[in-house]
Amino acid sequence: MTARAASLGEAARRLLKCDGSRLVVPLEVVHDAQKLSLEVSDELPGLLREPKVEVGAEIGVVRIWSPNGLLASIGGREGDLAIVWVPVARGEIENVWNDFHKIVSDLLSAGYPGCIDCAGPAAVEPWDEAARRAEF
């Protein structure tokens, strides 16, 4: 598994475990993000609030927020090690978003987060953001 795929998988898992999250996305992916939010809502009826989608001011950057703070940044500058950061080259956000959406959809289809071992071994091991960033 590539570093990018692993990081996108961790960002997807964090999104799916969070009630009341926000997806702050660039205009290029806002419609697809709204579809993803509905998909999450349909597949996880136990969530009180599905991910809210907002258009962000940063071009080519997706931010995933929980009510307690930033969970992940797809694109943008490298941030704190408490968040999942996925570097994205200029003009590549739509392709990376499509990969992220597929991972979220696959996890939902498998029954995540209520399933056992459906997200693979990486989901049960502690996430090491520093090690993952060293792979980029």
Query: Model confidence over 24-66: pLDDT tens digits?
Result: 999 999 999 999 999 999 888 776 678 999 999 899 999 999 9
In the sheet that 84-86 helps form, which strands lie side by side, from edge to edge? 52-55, 22-25, 62-66, 69-74, 84-86
Averaged pLDDT, 56-85 = 95
The whole-chain average pLDDT of the chain stands at: 90
- What ranges do the domains of the chain cover? 3-130
* pLDDT > 90 fraction of the chain, expressed in percent and rounded: 65
What per-residue confidence (pLDDT) applies to 134?
87
Name the residue with higher pLDDT: 26 or 1.
26
- The pTM for the full model equals 0.90
Q: Which of 119, 89, 79 is nearest to 4 (CA)?
A: 89
Other CB atoms within a 10 A radius of the CB of residue 23 amount to 24
